Every structure is written in C-alpha cells, then in structure tokens.
Structure 1
Amino acid sequence: GAQPPIELLRQFMDYTGWYGRDNVFRNMVDVQMVAAMGPAGGGRNQVTGRYLRHFNLVSIVDVADNVLAGIFDSILKWYLKDTGFVREAQDMSGKIIEATLQVYKNAMQSLLPTPTKSHYVFNLRDFARVVQGVMLTTASSVPAGKPGKDLMCQLWVHEILRVFYDRLVDEKDNNWMLQLLKQLLPQVFDVEFDTLMQFVNKEHVEGEPPKELEIGDLRKLFFGNYMDPDLGGEDQPPRKYERILDIDALIGVMEDYLTDYNGMSKRPMNLAMFLFAVEHVSRISRILNQPGGHLLLVGVGGSGRQSLTRLGASINMMQVIQVEISKSYTVVEWREDLKRILRQSGGEGKPTVFLFSDTQIKDEGFVEDINNILNAGEVPNMFPNDEKAGVIETVRPIATKMGLQLESQLELWSFFTQRCKEILHIALCFSPIGAAFRDRLRQYPSLVNCCTID
C-alpha cells in the first residue's frame, strides 16, 4: 500500500528539498539521513525500493547467546558483590543468567503470537526484567549456606513467573511453563523443582517425600516489600524485598493497607481481600517498585484492575492520576493533562502512577502519545518553547544538587525525560475482547515491549 510519509522523504532525497505551500522550492543543504527500521512483518510494511536505494543498508543480527549471557552476568555479579551478598548467592549469578536465557529462548520458539494471543511477544526487555527482579532483593534477606542458595532459586522462579507466566492465557501454556521449570532447575541449579518449592504446600510433613506440585500451587509463591508497612518513609530505612511464607498474615497486611487507603481517600474502595486479589496487588506492587516499571493489565471490565492498581500505588506511597473524560474532552485537554503529569513526575520528582483505561480512548492519538512516553519518556514537540524553558529551569537546581554538571538546554531536557522514565509509572487497563486490543498492540509495540503484562 501507499506510504505517504515515506514518499515525502523519498522526494527530499531525490530532489534535496520540498515545495512549500507557496509553490517555491526550498533546497535543504548539508542534511544527512540516518534511519532505523525493523524487518517487515508483525504490522511493519516493506519499504519501497525507490526509497531504500538512497541508503547504505546495515543489517544488525541478533546478539549471540554468549554475549547476551556475558552482559547480564556482569551486571548481576557486580550487584551481588557490591551490595555484600553471601558467597553462595554470588556464585548463583551465572546459573541464574543461563537459566533465564533458556526460558527466554524457549518462550520465543514455543509461545508464538496468534490472533487470540497477540501479546505473546518477547524481547530482551523481558530478559532484563527478570534480572531486575532478582536485583530487588537485598543482602540481609539472603542467609548463608544452602538456605541462601535455595532462596535465590525460589526468587528466580518467582521472577520468571511474573515476567513470562503472568501473560499466559490458557492451561496448555501454563503447563508448558511448569514443565520447563521442572526441566531447568535440576539441569542448571542441580535441585529438584518439587523439593525446592515444597514450602508452598502447607500439608507437607517434614521427612515425607515431596508432593508433585501443579501450576496452581505456585499461586502461593510470594516475594514482596510490603510486609512491614512502617518502613519506606522519608526518615525510615527502605523496605526489604523478601519471601513471604504466611499467606494469612499477608492477607491481613493487605487488609490493613486497604483500611489506611480508605481512611485517606475521598473515594474509598469496598474490596474483599482474598488470594486472587492479593496475588494481583503483589504483582502490581512489584512492578511499581522498579524504576520505569509500567503495567499492562489485561482483563474484562469489573475485574478489579483499577481498584487493585490504586491499592498497589498506595502501598508504594505513590499518587494515582486518572484523567476525567467528558463529552467536550479533546486532544488539547489531553495534552494539557499529560504535561501536568510529566511536570509532576519529572519536574517535581513525585512518584506518580498514570492510570488509563481503554474506555477512555476518545482518539487513537491518546494511545500514540502513551506509546511515545513509554518508549522515550516524552511526547515529541508537546511542550512549546516557553513551557519547555520553564521545565528546564525547574530541573536545573535538582541536577546541580545531584552533582551533575549539565549546562546546555539539551542536556537538561534529557535529564528531565530520564526522570520521567524512572519516576512515572503508567498502568494501562485494556480488555482483550474484540479486535481493538489486537490492533493497538500491533500499531503501538511499546504497549507490550515496555510494559509487564498481568
């Protein structure tokens, strides 16, 4: 099909300029074009040869397995050593990376996208999210000896489930993931899956052979930083990301968080805390606990996605912002709301969760703007020059206080967008019913690439 933007660029490269509205040709000098594109397919069209003939094409192949493992192993090894983990935990680094690589490669080969599973798209960001999740834990949470080694294995299983398993939609795929974990744990970590994870089976008696676990048993595998609500404040030490064994105590803590939220909120929530709700709050809290963690919550309306997100944000002491859509709401108001959200997070440094539902999409341009924020931390050309200058002056003293020598406006703007990427969390609540969900994932790949799916 026709691609008008490409034809416009081709005209420039053929004739080194364009005609203006006054029919006067404007010649552009000393302009070099550098472009990047993915291979055709998956929503990307083939680019016409009349345009590509102007370029020297450079194809970039996939990163080799040993290079990939080397990159992530050095990051994880540095973290475990620098933060003072016990020797047993430090020695697990290479095995964690090797096992994650196996899960990643198997998922790429076996969990392929289909019309009903259009979100089955995996890339290196998913690999990085597993490593990021492992790095949420602290040295004080991991004991020495075999218990510490087992805890690191259990943490790895938890992070694999959160990144890969949480997006699976049917029993066949769930069981595929379970069998892969049962295969990899003895192969890489030299420990049997059922023995390692038997603590989730409350009926197990010490000394008896372990029961064969099913995927439903893993619903009781929890790691989180929310069991001590008194920590994490301004003058308090940070919370620990640790394994949670007592599910009843966990439900009680979540009920306390809900009571605190309802006591402070103008719109209290009437939620019942049971295992299903606690699971999703735990997943949401984990993602919000990571810099630049974004959520794509897939489910039908009324399933509690927005309420649980509000509770998860409250647990992490973050403010939730949701735009008010009215009949007269246009792209102009939408852009003003986005500017306010970006100023609050990137400028003022307030941890913010932007909650957005597919029922609020009055214009597909809304989704395009969110796609840009997920990918780059900004919407290109959204701030006029005078407002941009105001934002730059807001972040200048912050950069100076952090010891950064940023002089140019470009450097300060990059600092602002980087803060937006780290401090602003976007929670998207989309329904999988209908073709709109599938079409949006294809047109705006950052919805999958930059979000953790639940």
Structure 2
Amino acid sequence: VKPESVSDRDALVRVFFHESMRVFHDRLINDDDKQYYHTMLSELATRLFAIQIEPTTFIQKPIIFGDFMKVGAPKNERLYEEITDMTKIRNILQDYQEDYNLTNNKNTRLVFFMDAIEHIARIARIIRQDRGNALLVGVGGTGKQSLTRLASHMCGYKCFQIELSRGYNYDSFHEDLKKLYEQAGPNNQNTVFLFTDNQIVVEEFLEDVNNILNSGEVPNLFDKQDEYEKMIIGCR
C-alpha cells in the first residue's frame, strides 16, 4: 500500500480491515463463523480506533481494494487503492473483458454483479502476490475458472491449463508441467496455473501440485540432466 492511497486514519483502518478479511475471513466456511468475525472486527474498531461500525456493515458495504483501476498501466505504476464507485468498476471490468476476448479470441460474457466483483478483486490480489495461491471452492459452473482467467488477464498474467485427452497420464502431466516451467522461467512470462478437480486423473497429480506450492519444484520432473541445466541457464 502506497502512502497516497492512505490519506488519513480512517483510510488506514479500512486497509487493515480489508487485509484481515482477506487473510482470515476468506478461509471461513460457514455463516456463523463469518458473522462472529464481523462482530470481532466491530469490537476491535471500537476498542482500538474509537470507530463505531456495525457488524452488518461488512456485508452491506463490503470493502474492496485493487490495483487494476487504470487499464493498461504497468505494474510499477499501479496503485493499490480502495474501490468505492461500483459503476466505474463495472465499466472497467467490462473493458478488461473486451480486451481479454480480443487478445485470446474468446467470447466470454460475464455479468459483473457484486459477488463477482468481490471475487475478481480477491483473486487479482492473490495473483499479484509473490507465489500467491488460492483454492476456489464452489458449485460447478458458477464462474470460478472464468473469473480466474479474467483476473489473470487484468494482472498481466498468462493462464496455463492442462488439456485432458484420451490416454492422458502421469507422464503427460509431467510434460505439461515442463511447459509451465518453461513459460514462467526462460520465457519470463508471469503465469497462473489453473488446475481443476476434474483434471485429477491420478492422485499423484495432487502431490506434484503440493510440491509446487511448498517449494516451487517437482522432484524428478526433469529426467535428463541437460534438460534441467538448460532450464536453469534460461532463468539466469
């Protein structure tokens, strides 16, 4: 957060609330726990900052921050700021969607209702973090992949997915992971690896994904030493 986006105490408090919501609240899985968390934040606001905030305010007027309000701005010129104008953000997301469709030859048509806007902002925040990762949980067909692809495009990242085919196996998965590493490494392309539960052909896939999250490396991915050395040299 840059100083220009936090002009006074109230703005700083809202940043604190937003980041704590993203770190803790977004991990909660039932409404009772979420309601308790809202109540806890309300009590903290009164005790620490002498600010009166009703717990329901966090639902009725959600705090949204993002660095994507200037379409096309380079990473170092982006400002992580609070987004309060919902009409403006809908128009900006529409612009991003049109650019995504033109760039990728797609015909995506998303409706930017409030929940979708919040989810896009959350996903974009995670993507922009170093080694950021998220587990998106929800009913199939609710737009998790579509929102992730759009958020990736907004952040200037390429979205990488495996394509299942007849006979796709563990060796095929390793070949795709090599392409992923080459795209993110020697090709120096910011990359999002989008992996769905339907693509888990064998359980070993999850072990490799877990290794990527923990250490960034997949053991025995490069069988030949020259392949590994070529990848290392390409990243220098």
Q: Report TM bin, short chain.
A: over 0.9
* Unpaired segments ≥5 residues, structure 2: none
Tell me the SS of whatever aligns to 1:193: coil
Alignment of 1:414-425 (within 5 A): none
Task: State the TM-score, normalizing by the size of structure 1.
Answer: 0.50
Residue in 1 aligned with 2:18?
158
Task: State the TM-score, normalizing by the size of structure 2.
Answer: 0.94
* Unpaired segments ≥5 residues, structure 1: 1-136, 195-211, 399-454
Residue in 2 aligned with 1:185?
45
Residue in 1 aligned with 2:153?
314
Counterparts of 1:346 and 1:390, CA distance in 2: 11
Counterparts of 1:142 and 1:155, CA distance in 2: 8
Residue in 1 aligned with 2:68?
226
| 2:81 paired with 1:242 | yes
2:227 maps to amino acid: E
C-alpha RMSD over aligned residues: 1.5
Residue in 1 aligned with 2:9?
149
Equivalent of residue 217 in structure 1, options 31, 47, 60: 60
Instruction: Provide Cα deviations, 1:373-430, integer angstroms capped at 9, x if missing partner.
Output: 00000111211212111112212xx3xxxxxxxxxxxxxxxxxxxxxxxxxxxxxxxx
| 2:198 paired with 1:359 | yes
Alignment of 1:16-165 (within 5 A): 137-143=1-7, 148-165=8-25
Counterparts of 2:30 and 2:107, CA distance in 1: 34
Q: Check 1:364–1:330 CA distance in 2 against 1; reply closer, same or farther (3 A cut).
A: same
2:106 maps to amino acid: R
Deviation of the 1:337 alpha carbon? 0.6
Identity of aligned residues (%): 38
Deviation of the 1:239 alpha carbon? 0.5
Equivalent of residue 329 in structure 1, options 159, 168, 178: 168
Counterparts of 1:218 and 1:166, CA distance in 2: 16
Residue in 2 aligned with 1:114?
none
Q: Which has the larger radius of gyration?
A: 1
Aligned length: 235
Counterparts of 2:172 and 2:116, CA distance in 1: 34
Counterparts of 1:270 and 1:241, CA distance in 2: 26
Deviation of the 1:368 alpha carbon? 0.4
| 2:14 paired with 1:174 | no
Q: After TM superposition, what 4+ stretches of structure 1 lie above 4 angstroms from structure 2?
A: none
Q: Does the Cα contact within 8 Å between 1:158 and 1:223 map onto a contact in 2?
A: yes
